[in-house]
Structure 1
Amino acid sequence: MARDGGPCAPGADLHRAERSGARAAGRMTSVRRDRPRSAEPDGDGAVEIVEYTDPACPWAWGSEPAFRLLRALTAGRARWRRVFGILFDEDDDPAPDPAAETAWYGRYIADIARHTRAPHAHRLRWVAATSRPASLAAKAAERQGGRAAERVLRRLRETTFVLGTPADTAERVLDALAGLDGVDRGRLGAEMDDPEVVAAVRRDHAEARDPIPEAHAFRAPGPHGSGVKETDDGVRYALPTLVFSGPGGRVAAPGWRSLSEYLAALRTVAPRQLWEAAPIGPEEALAAYRSLTGPDLSLLTGGTTPPPAAVRVDTAGGPLWLHPDEAATHPALNPALESKSRWS
């Protein structure tokens, strides 16, 4: 099978996208007034948000600031469910020239980072052979609670987009998570192979390849002009995609979108609720999220100044700011851990 990895979603010229993307908000979404996929309400108004993503997707990495804000805004009022699309899979054909593929994909990530302003590694050392181990770890981490799940997925994304050494084996995954606060790494390692976790990721893979009609119908200017991407045997959601469901209907928001577009989707599916984002202080943001990019700071705090205690990690796409406790075990600041991950 050919690698499904390339773009996370159908591509377009990024410079043209900058000019046209602002016009997308008014026609981003397709609304279907039917029941959400999940009949299980969680919070006022039975709002559900389904996130289709992958640990190795650069557009998903660039979307994290908006998703963090949305998760905070909807906490207690919506059920948020994450589906892993498996961008790179174990049965994909290997690249005939791995070095050339890595160089191309590194440039591709840098092009996307110029659009999203997300950090990216000085050098990508390899393209992930598969994103399934990282997806299994992120899925297993959900058993340890929402905070653990967020921290695990964030650290695994950083192996690609900060370190340039994707965690694409179980050993590399566990090496990357060494010392991660609030995560039982031994338990997670054991549960990555749990049949229920394996089956859940297999269901995620299938669900990501069964897009709803709204995703098929989606058209908008920008780097994600359509809501689905062709694969060898069909189509899948453009990554990332958020699907919002609620009393007012269902809205698909594929690809990298602005916060205003996501808020418009929320107001469509739950019009009787107030959806207004409020900034938090930089110290509070660092304590809550442990790892902040420049766009994180801007969107979450409304400013660009990190808290004095933050530890700076330089990347080719700007700094990453770490909580001191996070910095103590982060592979970017612990060469022995990074070297072990690189050669394992």
Structure 2
Amino acid sequence: MSISVVHHTDPGCPWAYSAEPHLRALEWRYGNGLAWRTVLIGLTESAEQYVARGYTGDQMTKWNIEFRDRFHMPYSTDLREGPAGTGMACRLVVSARLQGYEAGEALLRALRFSWFTNPRRHDSLEVLEPVVRSVSGIDADVVLAGLDDPEVEALYQADRAEARSVAPPASAQGKTAQTDGPERYTAPSLVFEHDGRTLVAAGWQSLTAYDVCIANLDPTLTQRGPAGPDETLPAFPRGLVTCEVALLMCARNDDPNLAAAEEALVDLVAAGKARRVALGNDALWLPV
């Protein structure tokens, strides 16, 4: 029996974006042993909520530099237009999810990449519609129409309510927030459930913390070990960025070697087995 993982997240959260390599590592290591479900937090409905907290375009650009240098995900350091509410992007993910879990996850990942490599405010259809239409395999017109669909709104509000029903261990870890009423999970928070037991890894955590939760819930779960991009890229048809490839290459508790990963990826491109798409200060590497 697989371990259930509830992933509380938001497309506009830099901490959640910075945890993408950890999620790819969990998907690679445990495969179908983990059964994922995503809950959209809905951090803010409007940019004004961030403006009231003192957020500015130049400050957010500086934060992008800090996150880039610490976590190595692709970022743009072009001056950001300013803060943006995340409600519209969250609703689009919920709308896409009606076409299947993978459709929702594909759009969520595309929104993350755009949010942090494009300085535009991501709270209008002018900016968000091209992102939706860039995702292959989903019906973009239906996803966009979902913004006016009462079912999508009800599902989104259910997500928001679930994200604001916090398990006590999350509070004990100091990884919750109270920005719009009830206490809520911060992104990314993972709730692991198996055989009547629940373990909570709230907020940004190390990959080791997730491994410890999984090992305590089911030490018999089959695992895959480290592998190079010749093996990992085909398992992720929508691509991996360099730091994700590097993490999948290294043994547990080792530090990822970004240079070695990039060299291996260049070799794959030269051999016609991968394609490089520039993304922010880095690239998205796609299998061929």
Which residue number corresponds to residue 142 of structure 2?
187
Percent identity, aligned pairs only? Answer: 27
Alignment TM-score, normalising by the size of structure 2: 0.83
* Cα distance in 1 for residues equivalent to 2:76 and 2:101: 27
- Secondary structure class of the residue paired with 1:76: helix
- Answer whether contact 1:285 1:300 (CA < 8 A) is retained: no
> Larger relative contact order (C-alpha < 8 A, sep ≥ 6)?
1
- 1:302-327 per-residue CA deviation (whole Å, 9 max, x = no partner) reads 45132304224153xx41224389xx
- 1:55-75 per-residue CA deviation (whole Å, 9 max, x = no partner) reads 011111111111123234444
* Cα distance in 2 for residues equivalent to 1:324 and 1:73: 19
2:276 is aligned with 1:311: yes
Which residue number corresponds to residue 26 of structure 1?
none
Number of residue pairs matched by the alignment = 271
Which residue number corresponds to residue 296 of structure 1?
244
Which residue number corresponds to residue 177 of structure 1?
132
2:206 is aligned with 1:258: yes
Following superposition, the deviation at residue 108 of structure 1 comes to 1.7
Alpha carbons of structure 1 residues 295 and 84: separation in structure 2 relative to 1, 3 Å:
same
- Answer whether contact 1:86 1:205 (CA < 8 A) is retained: yes
Unaligned runs of 5+ in 1: 1-43, 219-225, 326-344
Alpha carbons of structure 1 residues 185 and 290: separation in structure 2 relative to 1, 3 Å:
same
Which residue number corresponds to residue 79 of structure 1?
35
- 1:82-133 per-residue CA deviation (whole Å, 9 max, x = no partner) reads 11111222384462799x7111112122212222121211214223431111
Following superposition, the deviation at residue 240 of structure 1 comes to 0.8
RMSD: 2.7
2:217 is aligned with 1:285: no
2:12 is aligned with 1:64: no
1:15-34 alignment runs, 5 A limit: none
- Answer whether contact 1:238 1:255 (CA < 8 A) is retained: yes
* Cα distance in 2 for residues equivalent to 1:248 and 1:280: 36
2:277 is aligned with 1:321: no
Larger mean Cα displacement after TM superposition, 194-203 or 158-167: 158-167
- Answer whether contact 1:88 1:128 (CA < 8 A) is retained: no
* Cα distance in 2 for residues equivalent to 1:279 and 1:200: 38
* Cα distance in 2 for residues equivalent to 1:124 and 1:204: 32
Alignment TM-score, normalising by the size of structure 1: 0.70
- Secondary structure class of the residue paired with 2:32: coil
- Secondary structure class of the residue paired with 1:161: helix
- Secondary structure class of the residue paired with 1:123: coil
- Answer whether contact 1:282 1:297 (CA < 8 A) is retained: no
Counterpart residue type for residue 63 of structure 1: A
* Cα distance in 2 for residues equivalent to 1:261 and 1:248: 20
Following superposition, the deviation at residue 152 of structure 1 comes to 0.9
Which residue number corresponds to residue 219 of structure 2?
271
- Answer whether contact 2:65 2:75 (CA < 8 A) is retained: yes
